Amino acid sequence: MELIWEGILEAIRLLLSGDPEVWQITFLSIGISGIATLLSVVIGLPLGTWLALGKLKGRGCFLSVINTGMALPPVVVGLWVSIFLWRSGPLGDLHLIYTPAAIVIAQLIIAAPLMIGLTVTSLQQLNPNLQLQLLGLGASRRQLILALWREARLPLLAALMAAFGSVISEVGASMMVGGNIRGQTRVLTTAIVLETGKGQFATAIALGFILMLLAYLVNLFFTTVQQRGASQKVS
Amino acid sequence: MKNFRLSPMIYLLVVLIILAACVPAAPANKDLILATTTSTQDSGLLDELVPAFQEETGYLIKTVAVGTGEALEMGKQGNADVLLVHAPASEKELMAEGSGAERLLVMHNDFIIVGSPDDPAGIKGSPTAVEAFQKIAEAQAPFISRGDDSGTHKMELAIWKKAGVTPEGDWYQESGQGMGATLKIASEKNAYTLTDRATYLANKDTLALDILVEGDKGLLNVYHVIVVNPDKHPKVNIEGARAFAAFLTSKAGQAMIGEFGKEKFGQPLFFPDADKTDADLGLE
């Protein structure tokens, strides 16, 4: 029990003291996971829309691969990205290993299947007549897609939150491709592993609180946007 | 399009975040990858040495703290420029294979055997680690092994070999984790384990473990710095690697190593050895 109190007090102390290292780690975590999530939207939204609406053969086969991708273990992603980015690997000359960019790549690979798969589900659960109706009203392809996205905005925002949640909390890939380098690639989750390994449990608990607080604030923002959308939908 | 009206704001936010997250760019040859063991990082030694080196030379070190097995493998693959490791036998293999250009003695600390204060196998005061391990095996007392191919794990396996014991059975458990976590497990399970002194001292307050065996010559934990061979791995930053090796073995570097931890723990955690030879420390 004492340890838990110590952890809570340490968290408050770290937040109030404005320890520059803690802030740097926190901002780096938001930055990396934010960019990875954003890129996963840029890739996942069009690709998921195409998979949901396009007339393609073997959709089930594609979808089962994407859905399996949702269960990709971060360490496996980390291992493969490392193998490609190490100097001895095919992309070694890019010098990306142990940089924030490497973590973004790994997290993008983790988040993209979630975004694609959930986009497909979001669009497929819309009433199929809606599409026909919109086309009947003379909507262009672009107008059609925008209208469908608008209609499915609640589940699409849920997909965004799921993608962000999966990468901000992920540790295996960040550790492997980032290297947990102080001041460069140390993010909240890898810092927690490090502090636990050092036996600094209070600091580890404190960083855990900061991580949860962060996840809460981001989700609060998106949930507010989402629920505002929901009330409009009813009225 | 209410939701999409937010996007300029989000983009602005992301651009700001990118700017905040960006590491100050340095020329490619300023980057130096140091692969080392978790013990040097967990003890906090590197947090003193690395900034001092960076300030003096302008290099930017990327410290990757992994198990000794992985650190050595990174050297063999040319994925690191310089290694700071503590597994002499495996280091020699790496040198023989041609992956290392230079290997210098840096420092040592020592391994100790720790266990719960009631000492069920009665190993306290055993003159050698080998004898203590034999007693533990006879008593089938719980023992936690790192089991991660780290320098500490290699040392432990070497002692079992000398003791003529094949460690297996319910009493012998592998944690597969770093030293700090393994000590915690040993403490929770009333088990014995082999640890380096530095990590034990740094964690002592949270552990119900006492030092039971120490001072055996065979328990020295010797660290070497290895410069990865540019003839074999052309991408290695050889100037940077040489500069770091020179720094560790310089007067100033050695003094920092000798002073580290004295204030906090009342005793040094590492002993500088650059002026000694392997033979002085009982290595072949």
Residue B146 and residue B104 in one domain: no
Give percent above pLDDT 90 in chain B.
60
- Print burial letters for A80-91: b (CB count within 10 Å at least 16), e (below 16): bbbebbbbebeb
Determine, yes or no, domain membership for B59: yes
Q: Report how far apart, in Å, the C-alpha atoms of A45 and of each of A48, A135, A143, A218, B205 are.
A: 5, 21, 15, 20, 51
Q: What is the mean pLDDT of residues A57-68?
A: 90
Determine, yes or no, domain membership for B55: yes
Of A28, A184, A197, the CB nearest to B178: A197
Q: Report how far apart, in Å, the C-alpha atoms of A48 and of each of A39, A65, A118, A212, B226 are.
A: 14, 13, 8, 29, 50
Q: In whole angstroms, what separates CA A16 from the centre of its chain?
A: 28
Quickly state the pLDDT bin for B185 (edges 50, 70, 90): confident
Residues 100-119 of A with CB under 8 A from B: 100
Residue B226 and residue B100 in one domain: yes
Determine, yes or no, domain membership for B46: yes
Residue B46 and residue B91 in one domain: yes
Provide the terminal-to-terminal Cα distance of chain B, rounded to the nearest Å. Answer: 75
Of B18, B77, B179, the CB nearest to A31: B18
pLDDT digits (tens, 9 = 90+) for B118-132: 999 999 989 999 999
Give percent above pLDDT 90 in chain A.
61
**Per-residue confidence (pLDDT) for residue B250, from 0 to 100:** 96
Q: What is the mean pLDDT of residues B62-84?
A: 91
Å between A57 CA and nearest CA of chain B = 32
Residue B149 and residue B74 in one domain: no
Instruction: Pick the residue of A160, A164, A182, A232 with the most B CBs within 10 A to test the interface with B by mutation.
Output: A182
> Across all residues in chain A, what is the average pLDDT?
90
Contacts of A175 (CB under 8 A, 6+ apart): A78, A189, A190, A193
The domain that holds B99 is classified in CATH as 3.40.190.10
Tell me whether residues B181 and A198 touch, CB distance under 8 A.
no
**Per-residue confidence (pLDDT) for residue B194, from 0 to 100:** 96
Determine, yes or no, domain membership for B8: no
Backbone angles phi, psi at A161, to 5 degrees: -65, -40
Determine, yes or no, domain membership for B4: no
Per-residue pLDDT at B38 exceeds 90: no
pLDDT digits (tens, 9 = 90+) for A166-219: 999 999 999 999 988 888 899 999 999 888 877 677 888 899 999 999 999 999
**Which residues does chain B have within 8 Å of residue A34's beta carbon, measured at their own beta carbons?**
13-14, 17
pTM of the model: 0.77
pLDDT digits (tens, 9 = 90+) for B246-280: 999 999 999 999 999 888 888 888 999 999 888 88
Å between B17 CA and nearest CA of chain A = 5
Residue B104 and residue B138 in one domain: no
- The residue from B175, B191, B219 where one domain ends is B219
Residue B116 and residue B214 in one domain: yes
Per-residue pLDDT at B16 exceeds 60: no
Contacts of B198 (CB under 8 A, 6+ apart): B39, B42, B43, B45, B109, B261, B269, B270
* Residue of chain B with shortest Cα separation from A151: B1
- The residue from B168, B188, B219 where one domain ends is B219
Q: What is the mean pLDDT of residues A21-41?
A: 95
Cβ neighbour number for residue A64 with a 10 Å cutoff: 11
* Residue of chain B with shortest Cα separation from A177: B64
**Which residues does chain B have within 8 Å of residue A95's beta carbon, measured at their own beta carbons?**
28, 31
Question: HSE (CB half, 13 Å, CA atoms) of B163?
Answer: 21
Residue B122 and residue B203 in one domain: yes
**Per-residue confidence (pLDDT) for residue B251, from 0 to 100:** 95
**Per-residue confidence (pLDDT) for residue B20, from 0 to 100:** 52
* Residue of chain A with shortest Cα separation from B23: A184
Per-residue pLDDT at B149 exceeds 90: no
Per-residue pLDDT at B59 exceeds 70: yes
Residue B243 and residue B103 in one domain: yes
Q: What is the mean pLDDT of residues A80-102?
A: 91
Q: What is the mean pLDDT of residues A29-52?
A: 96
3-state secondary structure of A234: helix
Instruction: Pick the residue of B6, B11, B12, B14 with the most A CBs within 10 A to test the interface with A by mutation.
Output: B14
Rg (CA), chain A: 21
Q: Using CA atoms, how far apart are residues B148 and B151, in angstroms rounded to an integer? A: 9
pLDDT digits (tens, 9 = 90+) for B40-58: 887 889 999 999 999 999 9
**Per-residue confidence (pLDDT) for residue B218, from 0 to 100:** 84
**Per-residue confidence (pLDDT) for residue B129, from 0 to 100:** 95
**Pair B45, B74: CB distance under 8 Å:** no
Per-residue pLDDT at A2 exceeds 80: no
Domains of chain A: 22-185 (1.10.3720.10)
Residue B117 and residue B211 in one domain: yes
**Which residues does chain B have within 8 Å of residue A178's beta carbon, measured at their own beta carbons?**
none
**Pair A85, A96: CB distance under 8 Å:** yes
What token pair was written down for A114?
């979630």
Backbone angles phi, psi at B210, to 5 degrees: -110, 155
Determine, yes or no, domain membership for B148: yes
**Per-residue confidence (pLDDT) for residue B7, from 0 to 100:** 55
Domain limits at B162?
A: 110-219
Please give the residue that has the higher pLDDT: either B19 or A30: A30
Residue B201 and residue B227 in one domain: no
Pair type for strands B31-37 and B60-66: parallel
Per-residue pLDDT at B25 exceeds 70: no
Quickly state the pLDDT bin for B26 (edges 50, 70, 90): very low
Does A164 contact B at CB distance below 8 Å?
A: no
3-state secondary structure of A95: coil
Rg (CA), chain B: 22
Residue B277 and residue B243 in one domain: yes
Per-residue pLDDT at B157 exceeds 90: yes
**Which residues does chain A have within 8 Å of residue B8's beta carbon, measured at their own beta carbons?**
none
At position A87, the amino acid (one-letter code) is: R
What token pair was written down for B143?
């023992």
Å between B37 CA and nearest CA of chain A = 12
Of A86, A88, A197, the CB nearest to B181: A197
Q: Using CA atoms, how far apart are residues B32 and A34, in angstroms rounded to an integer? A: 28
- The residue from B219, B246, B262 where one domain ends is B219
Determine, yes or no, domain membership for B18: no
**Per-residue confidence (pLDDT) for residue B233, from 0 to 100:** 92
Determine, yes or no, domain membership for B17: no
Residue B104 and residue B114 in one domain: no
How many domains is chain B partitioned into structurally?
Answer: 2
Provide the terminal-to-terminal Cα distance of chain A, rounded to the nearest Å. Answer: 49
* Residue of chain A with shortest Cα separation from B76: A88
Quickly state the pLDDT bin for A144 (edges 50, 70, 90): very high
Q: What is the mean pLDDT of residues B66-78?
A: 89
